[in-house]
Amino acid sequence: MRFLHNCAPDCATGGVACDSYHKYQEDVMLLVEMEVDRYRFSISWPRILPDGTAGNVNQAGIDYYNNLIDALVANGIEPLVTLYHWDLPQALEDRGGWLNPESQDWFVEYARICFEAFGDRAKLWITFTQPWEIAWFGYGDGHHAPGHSDAPGEKTYQAGHNILLAHAKTYRMYQEEFFASQGGMSRAKVIENPFAETLSLCEETDAGGYVLTLHMTEFFFIIFFGRVTIALNINHHEPANPADPADAAAASRRTDFMLGWFADPVYFGDYPQSMIDKIGEKSEAQGYPESRLPAFTAEEQEMLAGSSDFFALNFYTSTYVRNFVNDPECVSYACDSDTEVFPDPSWKLLNYIKNRYGNLEVIITENGSSDRAGNLDDALRIYQLKHYINNILKGSSNKQLITFSKVPAMYLCHTPRLLLLAILLDGCNVTGYTAFSLMDSLEWPAGFSEKFGLHFVDFEDPERPRTPKASSRFFRQLIRDNGFLHNCAPDCDTGDVACDSYHKMSEDVMLLVDMEVSRITYQFTRAYILVDRYRFSISWPRILPAGTGDINQAGIDYYNDLIDALIAEGIEPMVTLYHWDLPQALEDRGGWLSPESHDWFVEYARVCFEAFGDRAKLWITFNEPWVVAWMGYGTGGGAPGHSDAPGEKTYQAGRNILLAHAKTYRMYQEEFFASQGGRVGITLNTNYHGPLNPADPEDVAAAARQMEFDLGWFADPVYFGNYPQTMIDKIGEKSEAQGYPESRLPAFTAEEQEMLAGSSDFFGLNTYTSSYANNLVHDSECVSYACDSDTQISSDPSWYGTGSDWLKLYPQGMRKLLNYIKDRYGNPEVIITENGSSDRAGNLDDALRIYQLKHYINNILKGSFTPSVPVLLDGCNVTGYTAWSLMDNLEWSSGFSQKFGLHFVDFEDPERPRTPKASSRFFRQLIRDNGFIEENLCEY
């Protein structure tokens, strides 16, 4: 094709690309190293038929694919073959390409040659990959081959129509001419039988194969025969405002126009009715004698319906959709759906396919993530693989299913060694996942600038060497484990060493000195700083390995040395007693679900006050109890990983933590305050939640309710003695309707309320981001904290993203939150004990972190009242700011993949060297200036 020669970035073409033509044996060894058992690749039509027709077969092309298939089979890797990945022979494009009705027969002729040459060994076939892109990008907006953009409301639909008919004709041709002779098994597996029951011999399955059962019931076979499908691409579309029927209809319509455009004909025989109606109405209004969407004849509909043996899905991202009526004179596919889209980070598509198309077998044939730097430490790609596969497993009826994918024309797949047919959350029938891609390659008009590979390819080197990225190791481990093992962060990172501050304590104190920590608060890993103050947390099991009883003197000595070193440098310690590391012995006794946990914590705190309270005068009992209660005992995303009763255990754990805090506060007042004179508080985390639609009273009420369910859940008892009335009422009403004898939110006694009220000497606040809330009444049968508030939260797509999917930067939210606390809690002293920004690359020139620090601190100063700032706007009583974090560290279940530090830590080096980032210099200047001085901000 001439298209890329006209040309992609740096005039990159597919003439050589990653050169798998000459390096296929090396690439097969990469697959063996990855331990995959299925490999998806595409055949190049012009490599087989240079002029596109059967009159001129290129034997060298046939030989290449035969050699590749033989090498795969010899290594136990099953071929999954795509016939068309956008490379139409130029001779056929010159004859009209996919606009020519003859294209249907050209394709059938080409497919027949491939089935004849390779079908004795290749049993899984995809006719077209992403026909939506061919039709719209190739014949609509013109930014893909062949580059047509002159009739986006006509040619687009003509091309799509011909592609669909080419697919259907090819599917029927395979059934008639090849299935009988080539329909041998594509795989025969002995599989452990999770049901322990006997299935009848030779029972035909919905997947197009047969189940042969051994009567001992421990095992069964699944055998698949030759199968043909089409690979469709789609974004998942969510309504921008779920409460707006017009947006809900728009999201459905958008999905019809993207996925349904091709899926509905393949499965039902015709286009979605919404497409037929919309385009018909617009065509008539625009003066066309008939619809711009070509109609199928009755015979074509019959040929199309059911022309797929499984649902092949290419998926990368999601979008929000709002209703938007386009200019009636706009003749384009882009205008026909009357919708507007913008990004949304969710994956709910599998449930849509299950519900619309009858829970077909789905093989995800492409999914991945790109970057432009080609970093070997590709943490973002690991994050994408981990979380997308995790969401597939949540939705799938197949518990273990992994697959791997492609370099355009080269895909790689892994399917389960054990296909355990377990019922998970949603019951979607997903049997394979294909990661895009094995290695970096030519990404069509983007050239080599976008890199999707799990292996780096050096396109400057004529030898095109391949180098494994960190994601390839992660994926190989995922295959070895056949899924996710418990207790394993990315790359199975742990906190055993992390940044090794235990041994590098003196060096880290010198980092604080170099930062000139004074006047402003700053924070470190699990050690945090404040101008002349440094916040760190004590590890409970380091002090009391069994949680109670015997004291570990080495732990006491370490924290004494740290506190002494800080004081010697004029830095005041600020000590957190609990940052989520409950001793395992106590978790085994029930953890925070046990009422005894109050007393365990008081005993531990007493040991710390006795050992360190003569020098440490600022104490935080708990860091982010919301995270402990909800993530630890609700979703299971944090330690200890409970997720079985998110509407019960969550509230039980929260209640016990609150009482442990209050008892500790009162114990300090009674036993230590007179001699030590310190202050005790608790650090609470929250987003600022604003209404999605400020003009909608229901959204305004939802935002207030979300604030109470997040911040008020813990702040109201600490300041007022009891939960917010909204929580009490909502959870009480839902509990009664769900048949509980009493509320799932445990009540405090009058004595406990008195002990709780006023149990904090300052308001410790951790905050990073903001969100919108809208009213959404959840299913009455949903027993979960997530449903109890009857709200839904979202972020603004215009906010800057970071290395954490939950963290979007909205500096103004900081000021709004401080005013909320001032108004609701009587303007208490606030110390911001965490605030920061993450990335995944660990760049030393971390401009986004500088932006975050600059704008968040600026909004704090706008809202604050301190003696050093005489002109103030809001009068919030903020006395300190703590940036997270001094250095990169273990970010819990995210491992080392999310980097929050002002100093880079090389976790591959046993010495864990620290390197200052640009943000550390910015922050030091901010400390020197005690705020913002215009002439010192120029370089930032």
The predicted-structure confidence for 813-832, as pLDDT tens digits, reads as follows 999 999 999 999 999 999 99
pLDDT band at residue 762 under the 50/70/90 scheme = very high
244 confidence band (pLDDT: 50, 70, 90): confident
Instruction: For residue 842, give the 3-state DSSP assignment.
Output: coil
Q: How confident is the model at residue 381 (pLDDT cuts 50, 70, 90)?
A: confident
Burial annotation 157-171 (CB, 10 A radius, 16+ → b, else e): bbbbbbbbbbbbbbb
Q: Cα–Cα distance between 687 and 710 in angstroms, integer?
A: 8
**Alpha helix stretches (DSSP H) within 839-930:** 847-863, 918-929
Residue 296 phi/psi, 5° resolution?
Answer: -90, 145
Q: List Cα–Cα distances, 295 to 57, 305, 476, 572, in angstroms.
A: 35, 14, 47, 77
Which pLDDT value is given to residue 441?
A: 76
Strand order in the sheet with 203-204: 187-192, 219-224, 209-213, 203-204
Q: Is the pLDDT of residue 7 over 60?
A: no
Q: What is the pLDDT of residue 240?
A: 84
Catalytic (active site) residue 939: no
Q: Which two tokens stand for residue 516?
A: 């000139």
Least confident window among 245-259, 365-379, 413-427, 485-499:
413-427
What the block records as the tokens of 62 is 């046939």
How much is the mean pLDDT over the chain?
83
Check: CB of residue 123 under 8 Å from CB of residue 224.
yes
What are the φ and ψ backbone dihedral angles of 257, each rounded to 5 degrees?
Answer: -75, -20
- Write down the catalytic residue from 572, 587, 624, 752: 624
Once rounded to an integer, what is the mean pLDDT over residues 912-937? 80
- What's the mean pLDDT in 924-933? 80
Identify the band that residue 198 occupies on the pLDDT scale cut at 50, 70 and 90: very low
Q: List strand residue ranges (DSSP E) for 193-276, in order.
A: 203-204, 209-213, 219-224, 227-239
- Choice among 361, 572, 752, 834 that is catalytic: 834
**pLDDT at residue 435 in the model:** 81
C-alpha closest to that of 577 among 653, 657, 511 = 657
Closest CA to 232 of 40, 426, 366, 390: 366
DSSP string, 92-121: HHTTTGGGSTTHHHHHHHHHHHHHHHHTTT
- Burial (CB < 10 A; 0-12, 13-18, 19+), residue 708, is buried
What is the predicted pLDDT for the residue at 869? Answer: 43
Q: Choose which CATH entry (3.40.50.1370, 3.20.20.80, 2.60.40.10, 3.30.930.10) describes domain 539-558+580-923.
A: 3.20.20.80
**In the prediction, which pLDDT does 345 show?**
41
In terms of pLDDT, which residue wins out, 345 or 329? 329
Contact between residue 293 and residue 275 where contact means Cβ atoms under 8 Å apart: yes
Could you say which DSSP state residue 485 is in? P
CA distance 813 to 834: 15
Pick from 335-339, 485-489, 698-702: least confident: 485-489
Residue 834 falls in the annotated catalytic set: yes
Cα gap 867→223, rounded to integer Å: 77
Query: ω before 289 within 30° of 0 (cis)?
Result: no
Q: Is residue 832 a contact partner of residue 882, using CB atoms and an 8 Å limit? A: yes
Structure tokens at 441: 């390659």
Q: Residue 741 — φ and ψ, nearest 5°?
A: -70, -20
DSSP string, 368-431: B--BSS--SS-HHHHHHHHHHHHHHHHHBS-S-------BTTB--BB--SS------SS-B-EE
In single-letter form, the type of residue at position 471 comes to: S
Cβ neighbours of residue 363 closer than 8 Å, sequence gap 6 or more: 310, 311, 312, 313, 403, 430, 431, 432, 433, 434
pLDDT, average across residues 88-103:
96
Residue whose C-alpha is closest to residue 240's, from 692, 630, 636: 692
- Compare 84 and 236 and report the one with higher pLDDT: 84
Which of 94-98, 108-112, 422-426, 551-555 has the least mean pLDDT?
Answer: 422-426
pLDDT above 70 (res 6): no
Q: Which of 146-155, 202-211, 494-503, 548-557 has the highest mean pLDDT?
A: 548-557
Instruction: Give the tokens for residue 617.
Output: 């005068």
Please answer whether residues 582 and 548 qualify as being in contact, where contact means their C-beta atoms are separated by less than 8 angstroms.
no
Exposure string of 645-664, with b = 16+ CB inside 10 Å and e = fewer, is bbbbbbbbbbbbbbbbbbbb
Residues listed for the chain: 940
Task: Return the structure tokens found at 668.
Answer: 């300090």
Q: Which residues contact 785 (CB under 8 A, 6 or more apart)?
A: 630, 634, 646, 647, 650, 651, 709
Question: Could you tell me the maximum CA-CA distance found in the chain, to the nearest angstrom?
Answer: 99
Q: How confident is the model at residue 806 (pLDDT cuts 50, 70, 90)?
A: confident
Confidence of residue 410 (pLDDT cuts 50, 70, 90): very low
Instruction: Tell me what pLDDT residue 383 has.
Output: 78
Q: Which of 85-94, 629-638, 710-719, 925-934 has the lowest mean pLDDT?
A: 925-934
Of 779, 773, 714, 775, nearest to 748 by C-alpha is 714
At residue 563, the pLDDT reads 95
Query: What is the average per-residue pLDDT within 910-928?
Result: 87
Q: What is the pTM of this model?
A: 0.56
Confidence bin at 399 (pLDDT 50/70/90): very low
Same CATH fold, 539-558+580-923 and 3-185+223-481?
Answer: yes
* pLDDT of amino acid 877: 93
pLDDT band at 445 (very low <50, low <70, confident <90, very high): low
Query: The tokens of 81 are what?
Result: 């073959």
The runs of H, that is alpha helices, within 410-539 are: 470-481, 505-514
Q: Residue 688 has what pLDDT?
A: 97
SS3 312: strand
Q: Which CATH architecture best describes the domain 3-185+223-481?
A: Alpha-Beta Barrel (3.20)
**Residue 791 binned pLDDT confidence (cut-offs 50, 70, 90):** very high
- Residue boundaries of the structural domains of the chain: 3-185+223-481, 539-558+580-923
Q: Which residues contact 654 (CB under 8 A, 6 or more apart)?
A: 625, 626, 629, 713, 714
Percent of the chain residues topping a pLDDT of 90:
54
pLDDT tops 60 at residue 462: yes
- Strand residues in 240-304 grouped as ranges (E): none
Which token pair is 694? 């400020």
- Name the pLDDT band for 857 (thresholds 50, 70, 90): very high
Q: Sorting pLDDT into bands at 50, 70 and 90, what band is 558?
A: very high
- Greater model confidence, 901 or 256: 256
What number is the average pLDDT over the span 692-707?
Answer: 95
Token pair recorded at residue 438: 């094995």
pLDDT tens digits, residue range 165-174? Answer: 999 999 999 9
Three-state SS annotation for 123-171:
CEEEEEECHHHHHHHHHCCCCCCCCCCCCCCCHHHHHHHHHHHHHHHHH
**Cβ 88 vs Cβ 52: under 8 Å:** yes
Task: In whole angstroms, give the CA distance from residue 49 to residue 89.
Answer: 8
Specify the pLDDT at position 864.
66
Enter the DSSP assignment of 866: B
In whole angstroms, what is the distance from residue 320 CA to residue 621 CA? 41
DSSP H/E element including 353: helix 349-357
Provide the pLDDT for residue 457: 85
pLDDT bracket for residue 892 (50, 70, 90): low
Alpha carbon separation from 213 to 223, 225, 337, 399, 417 (Å, rounded)? 11, 17, 49, 20, 18
What is the Cα–Cα distance from 174 to 193, expressed in whole angstroms? 33
More confident residue, 874 or 195: 874
Model confidence at 223: pLDDT above 70:
no
Question: Does pLDDT of 408 surpass 50?
Answer: no
The pLDDT > 70 percentage for the chain reads: 83
pLDDT of 440: 81
